[in-house]
Amino acid sequence: MEKRHVIPKMVVSAVAILLYFGCDHSLTELRAYLELLCSWEFSENISSGGRYVVKLSFKHDLTFIRKITNYGVYPRSGSQSISAWLETDGTYRIENNKLIFSPHSLKTWDSFYSNPGPTVIRPYPYGSIFEDCTYRIEENTLILTYLSYPADAPVVTTRSFSRTK
């Protein structure tokens, strides 16, 4: 029987990031990237009786996906029924404690319009996401502080995401 060697995912990710960046980066910078590599989730109930879930996934090739899924938003839709979703993908980088997102495309789907498939928009139409974002990780929680625009003026917003598998 042939003996197989298994290389842990974290080692493969570290090597991939080192090859991507070259060897110019410190171990502290490498550790910062490795800590982000997974999916993070935020969930909140909304006034309609539904809820929305934000899933933020960071990949070893320095790409990200942010997917926002709305459940039970429309009348007569169950709380587990997907009402709509939008997905943003792009690249990211870390500079000190700043997390900088460069979105490339947006995919959307909404059950209200009965479209069989998502609408894809390239390039990303809204500038950036998580503008002026700083981050920190405390145990299994990713805490982002960034500017959002709920009205006419920017508002400093803090959102906590839990690590998922």
CA dihedral 73, 77, 78, 83 (to 10 degrees): -50
CA distance 147 to 106: 20
Residue 55 near residue 61 (C-beta atoms within 8 A): no
CA distance 73 to 126: 24
Average confidence (pLDDT) per 10 residues, the chain, 165 residues: 52 54 65 92 88 96 96 85 95 95 96 84 93 96 95 92 92
DSSP category for residue 39? E
Domains of the chain: 38-164 (2.40.128)
> Which of 25, 45, 43, 41 shows the shortest CA–CA distance to 33?
25
CA dihedral 27, 135, 131, 17 (to 10 degrees): 30
CA distance 53 to 8: 30
Residues 6+ apart with CB under 8 A from 67: 54, 55, 57, 85, 86, 87, 88
- Predicted confidence (pLDDT) per residue in 105-146, tens digit: 999 999 988 777 899 999 999 989 999 999 999 999 999 999
